[in-house]
Structure 1
Amino acid sequence: MGIAFDDGAADALITAANSADEVLRDEGGFLYGAVEQAVQDFNGGYGRLFRDACAIRSDDRGKLAGVLAALAEDVGEAKHRAQQEKARQKNMEAWQQRDNIRKQHLLSGDIAEASVTVATMVLDPMPESTPVPAPAVSAVFSPRDRPRFAGGPGTGTTSADPDKLRGFASVSRTATNTLNSHSVAVRNAWSSFTASCSWVTIETESFVAGFERLLAANAADADWIEQVATAFETAGSGSIEDSMLNRLFIQYAAPNQVGLNDIGTMSAAQLKVWLGNGGTARLRELLTQPALDPVATATWWSGLGHSVEPATGKVTVGEEQHLLIGALPDVIGNLNGVTATARDLANRKKLLQMHDYLKKYRNEHGGDVDEGSQEGMVNKIWESLYDSEGKEKTDRLDPSAVRQLISFVPYGLKQGSDTGYGASISVGDLDAAKHISYQIPGLDTTIDHDMASKTKQAYDQRAEQRDLAVPNGIDPARLAVVAWIGVEPAKDLGVFSNDQAKVVGAALRNDVTGVNAVHQNLDNTAMITAVGHSMGSLGVMEAAKAGLPVDNLVLVGDVGAPDNVSSVNNLHLNPGGTVYRGTYTVDYTSVIGHGAGWYRKYTTDPGFGAVTFGTDGFTAPDGTIEPPTKTHDGQTGGKDGIYGYFDKSTESSINQAKISLGLDDQLTNATR
């Protein structure tokens, strides 16, 4: 029968554990002189940290030594029990053989032999049949964290003798190297023991990894002390302000000791260490706190370091910024105050991860993509940015028509976002743009159904603006039109309410405020226009009620004004901002929309005060025809001679482009 227990493996573990125990207990004496020398002149905030670290190290090695000693005893006891069980099984096996022979004699029919057999049975009873209980071994150890960052206001000073600090580091490394060989021996012996002594129950074990972490902490202490010594040598003084040392050792800070401004002081190397030591969770906490100010965020993000090409306004993301994007793409990609270039990188990273995962899932499970699902949303955004071969969509004739995924919230309502699904794509570099247009769509627009078509609509409007830019002395490369579905608008019977428009308005205001803050930090000035179509017009007006930092507000096929808006005086734009509106003559959907809320004021009323631009068609002096809008839809492609408000080359689309470029004086069929 036998049991799985190798005496040799047990002896090897006992020897390794006892040897490591002895060396650990001797380390204190070995380090004592170096520690005493170092602390003579090491005072102040960082001197206290050193003393604390030495105390923790002493306490931890004592605990580990105790764990190893107990382990050796437990394994010794396990060996003793294993020997008892092996002997019991051996005795039982031998007795069983004798008993079988006796049973054969009893069945032989020889009365004399049977009598002798009965007598031997009395003299040879069955040995112990109850197995020796398998022992349990437990060895738990985890070292404590050692503080290496003083933090606080940094108003104190630290003094030290760098030579003595380096002396400690040298002795510490020698001790650690010695222990390292014992750690390896213990690890190997433990591995062999668990593989060949499975009869023993292993209840809880963490001492092997804990031993290795203890040595890693010792090595980190030596590195840290040498860095402190270098700081004093570089300063050429025996005393340094704690604030300066805090900047040098910010990567050692506990996550809760670090704020956004602290992150801004880290080098890329420091930031990488901090993120790897639990900083990612703290970063998420800092960047998702309620009411985070986009202006402050823009200043902070800019301080992390990026470069800007003066001639083109193109932003190149810095190394520290790349690290944060890699750590939290879902947060950075939707953080107002972060450059569009960085947000695009972050959102594409998240999009690629989700698209690859969902594509693999669909290939493995088959079936159709559900309407309105997260998968449908991801696929539609993908189609807006990449071709069938997975290459980024570009315009060979217009390289400046880049596409930037400036927001991407791939979660359902109450699953990561208070507003549900959301995504926005800018056609044109939003950071570099001198003219920016936001297009806010109407009723029933969804990401998974409309993102690609709304991106095309933005592309066509940018092309419209580009055609007008050159003859009017405007840089055609620095234009951006945003297909904005940062929040999906109302659906179905939501037409009878302004509730979702208020959500849309708040989100739009935050986004535009963020872009303005980014531009201020980039020293770039842009004319910004918000264009609301149908129910989207309610969203832009809701945003403007509380203040929307745009220069132009354009209402296209609007469905009336929201509550508390009786004139443009109730809409608050940038100083000198203008409200425009355009609706074709028989847009009954727009008329019905005005009545849908019953209380919505007609923007056509003379007292409302908006500048009306033409949408019913125009023939230019050179004979060029700008087709009229004949449907409430955004784009139809001119099917059957019917054009929507955003179809390229229509009077409506051209007038919108003129407004966005500041060419108000060139509007056709305008009423002021």
Structure 2
Amino acid sequence: MTADPFAGDPGAVAKLSSGLAGHQDDLSAGAHSVARAAEDADDWRGASKDRFSVTVGTVPRAARRIIGRLDAAVDVLDTYADDVRAIQDEAEQIRAAQLTNAMEVAANTVSLSAAVVAAAGKDATEADGRQARRLRSDADDLAATASRLQAEWDALVERRATADRAASAGLSDTEVLGVTPSYSGTLGRMGDADFLAAVAAMPPEVLAAQDRSVGDRLAGMPPETVQAWWDGLGGRGSGGVHSAAQDALITALPAVIGNLDGVPYWARDQANRLSAQRAYAQAQDDLRVARRRYTRAIGGQGQVAAGHALNAALLRYNQLNNFVAGARTDLNLRYPLPRQMVAFRDGQPPLGAFSVGDLDSASSVTFLVPGMGSSLADTTQYMRTGSTVQQSQQQMSGDASAYVTWLGYESPPNFLATGDTAVLHEDSARAGAATLSADLAGVRATRPDVQLNVVAHSYGSTTAALALASDSALNIHSFVTLGSAGIPSSVPDAAATHAAHMYAAQANEKWGIAAFGRTFSDPHRADPTQGFGATEMHTDGTRTVNVHDLAADPDSRNVGYLDSGTKTLLGTAKATMP
């Protein structure tokens, strides 16, 4: 803020204060509505009621905290508006007086000059001398007045500086922010235990106001440390055992908690749904804006630029729209399974993973890793494909592995559609392998005894092989490759994947897509069905796989690797069976 006494608009400051006061009323009314809802639920029983009661119980306290902070901010703003208004009024008076004084000084200077000439003339009179002396006296008085007015102006400048500092300090005070700046600054110097305790004790609105370093530090902690900390905040599971501290963290830091290895998946699911829904809402707004700008674009270059922006906005919208639809899309199951948004990383492109099955309790967890051209826009398609495997498991044993549709890497573009040759190289696979390995390690850390499997298609097998080879502690039970685009030479055989069992299927595909990818790969990648050490899955039978896809168009005569009635579907189901 400037120390210029005329700067600023006290009316605007007062309007801001009035708006905050209005928010106080809204918060108070909302808290009362929640309390009434709790009273109306007296006949509700069970774990979900307990969960609701715990959450509702935090609302009045949170509302009172925020209302108190808004009240403190309103007081600061009202005082500042009054101070600025008074200072500006005095500044106008001083400037007017200075202008009048300056005009009188100018007139006196002219008159004094003439009087001095007259008093020095041969025919000067006594009156001329008195006039000159009077004008010199007036000049001294005007100079004194100018000095006094300047001193008053300087004092007013200092008053404005003081008012500015007081407002800044008031708005930064703990009564407004809820946490003192000195406390916020000490978080980075705390040891892990003290840091985690401090973060867990913060109210949601205070936690959300912290800078990015808090989330970054949480994300960098070992999964074991995170799990012990999280479990210490309350119960585990999804049935009425959440604690207020856990809910606060989910609400305030959804992008962090949603992807934090060591946090149970019920909590990650809630956090990721918050993050994804917000990103989706923003994508909807961005698409509307892009369409409006495209219709208003003028000139060839303007239309081309607007068209590119519209295509980018539409692509992002389609990706996020399909991803959030994973919560409700129809699946191929004999009986329903819970769904969890396992990961969501907003970016260009957005990445994520969606599970069919509860990762906190399933006895077997399988990651489905798609190949080239896959993105979040394909989420529901891959979830349905994975559920076909689960349906087979339900028919065989009544139990099903939790299947995670993992779209956590930027896959290479579809070569057939774009001509882009990235699928022939390993760059995308190496980048994706690091994330896949970390996500698998997150499951292993949270569920040390769970059966963990990977089913990978096409270029996804290239990515998955690198991920599994990088960490023997993942303890993978089954690694299944379907139509592999090739295993990198850095993974020389099945044993190098560290999986207890490796299976590979390669059909006689129309157009030879998988074979093309292996043949022209650089560096050359191996076919896992040919002397690699994997158990080969046959692709012939009643329904013989004849295309590269996992699931073919049901209206065509094509058959994909995981279509009903294929040996590869049955083999994959058995390999990943709990």
Instruction: Give the TM bin, normalised by the shorter chain.
Output: 0.5 to 0.7
Give 1:563 shift.
1.0
Choose which of 426, 433, 452 in structure 2 pairs with 1:498. 426
Is this contact kept in 2: 1:298–1:514, CA < 8 A?
no
Is this contact kept in 1: 2:237–2:266, CA < 8 A?
no
Letter in 2 for 1:495: V
Is this contact kept in 1: 2:368–2:406, CA < 8 A?
yes
Letter in 1 for 2:455: V
**Counterparts of residues 397-412 of structure 1 (less than 5 Å):** 400-412=336-348
Give 1:567 shift.
2.2
Q: Confirm or deny that 1:89 pairs with 2:20.
A: no
CA, structure 1 residues 426+288, in 2 after alignment: closer, same or farther (shift >3 Å)? Answer: same
Match of 1:578 in 2: 501
Match of 1:487 in 2: 409
CA, structure 1 residues 398+629, in 2 after alignment: closer, same or farther (shift >3 Å)? Answer: closer
Choose which of 146, 149, 165 in structure 2 pairs with 1:206. 165
Match of 2:187 in 1: 255
What 5-or-longer segments of structure 1 have no aligned partner?
Answer: 6-71, 100-120, 141-189, 191-200, 222-250, 413-419, 619-626, 663-672
Give 1:283 shift.
2.3
Give 1:540 shift.
1.3
State the secondary structure of the residue aligned to 2:467. Answer: helix
Matches of 1:405 and 1:461, distance apart in 2: 15
Letter in 2 for 1:384: F
Letter in 2 for 1:325: I
Is this contact kept in 2: 1:294–1:336, CA < 8 A?
yes
Matches of 2:173 and 2:431, distance apart in 1: 52
CA, structure 1 residues 213+429, in 2 after alignment: closer, same or farther (shift >3 Å)? Answer: closer
Percent identity between the two aligned chains: 22
Give 1:426 shift.
1.4
Give 1:376 shift.
2.8
Matches of 2:453 and 2:502, distance apart in 1: 10
Letter in 2 for 1:377: R
Q: Confirm or deny that 1:308 pairs with 2:247.
A: no
Is this contact kept in 1: 2:451–2:477, CA < 8 A?
yes
Match of 2:272 in 1: 347
Is this contact kept in 2: 1:460–1:648, CA < 8 A?
no
**Counterparts of residues 432-451 of structure 1 (less than 5 Å):** 432-445=361-374, 447=375, 451=376
Q: Confirm or deny that 1:337 pairs with 2:270.
A: no
CA, structure 1 residues 630+639, in 2 after alignment: closer, same or farther (shift >3 Å)? Answer: farther
Is this contact kept in 2: 1:137–1:203, CA < 8 A?
no
Matches of 1:266 and 1:87, distance apart in 2: 57
Give 1:647 shift.
2.9
CA, structure 1 residues 433+256, in 2 after alignment: closer, same or farther (shift >3 Å)? Answer: same
Give 1:603 shift.
2.1
Give 1:613 shift.
1.4
Q: Deviations over 1:207-256 (max 9, x none)?
A: 25546878969x999xxxxxxxxxxxxxxxxxxxxxxxxxxxxx999313
Is this contact kept in 2: 1:464–1:649, CA < 8 A?
no
State the secondary structure of the residue aligned to 1:555. Answer: strand
Whichever structure has more helix as a proportion of its residues is: 2
Q: Deviations over 1:140-168 (max 9, x none)?
A: 9xxxxxxxxxxxxxxxxxxxxxxxxxxxx
Matches of 1:464 and 1:636, distance apart in 2: 15
State the secondary structure of the residue aligned to 2:447. Answer: helix
Matches of 2:102 and 2:490, distance apart in 1: 98
CA, structure 1 residues 210+542, in 2 after alignment: closer, same or farther (shift >3 Å)? Answer: closer
CA, structure 1 residues 254+378, in 2 after alignment: closer, same or farther (shift >3 Å)? Answer: farther
Give 1:536 shift.
1.0
State the secondary structure of the residue aligned to 1:639. Answer: coil
What 5-or-longer segments of structure 2 have no aligned partner?
Answer: 7-82, 111-130, 295-306, 414-419
CA, structure 1 residues 399+654, in 2 after alignment: closer, same or farther (shift >3 Å)? Answer: closer
Matches of 1:504 and 1:87, distance apart in 2: 72
Q: Confirm or deny that 1:299 pairs with 2:222.
A: no
Larger radius of gyration: 1
Give 1:377 shift.
3.2
TM-score of the aligned structures, taking structure 1 as reference length: 0.56
Give 1:81 shift.
11
Match of 1:660 in 2: 576
Give 1:594 shift.
2.1
CA, structure 1 residues 402+566, in 2 after alignment: closer, same or farther (shift >3 Å)? Answer: same
Match of 2:122 in 1: none
Match of 1:532 in 2: 456
Match of 2:563 in 1: 647
Give the aligned length.
Answer: 441
Give 1:515 shift.
0.7
Is this contact kept in 2: 1:317–1:341, CA < 8 A?
no
Match of 1:159 in 2: none
Q: Confirm or deny that 1:629 pairs with 2:554.
A: no
Matches of 1:397 and 1:559, distance apart in 2: 29
Match of 1:563 in 2: 489
**Counterparts of residues 137-216 of structure 1 (less than 5 Å):** 137=155, 205-208=164-167, 210=169
CA, structure 1 residues 252+485, in 2 after alignment: closer, same or farther (shift >3 Å)? Answer: closer
Matches of 2:365 and 2:457, distance apart in 1: 17
Matches of 1:356 and 1:334, distance apart in 2: 20
Letter in 2 for 1:660: T
Letter in 2 for 1:404: Q
Is this contact kept in 1: 2:331–2:387, CA < 8 A?
no
Matches of 2:404 and 2:205, distance apart in 1: 36
State the secondary structure of the residue aligned to 1:135. Answer: helix
Q: Confirm or deny that 1:614 pairs with 2:538.
A: yes
Matches of 1:287 and 1:510, distance apart in 2: 15
Matches of 1:459 and 1:332, distance apart in 2: 27
CA, structure 1 residues 303+211, in 2 after alignment: closer, same or farther (shift >3 Å)? Answer: closer
Matches of 1:511 and 1:355, distance apart in 2: 23
Give 1:398 shift.
7.1
Give 1:643 shift.
1.8
State the secondary structure of the residue aligned to 1:335. Answer: coil
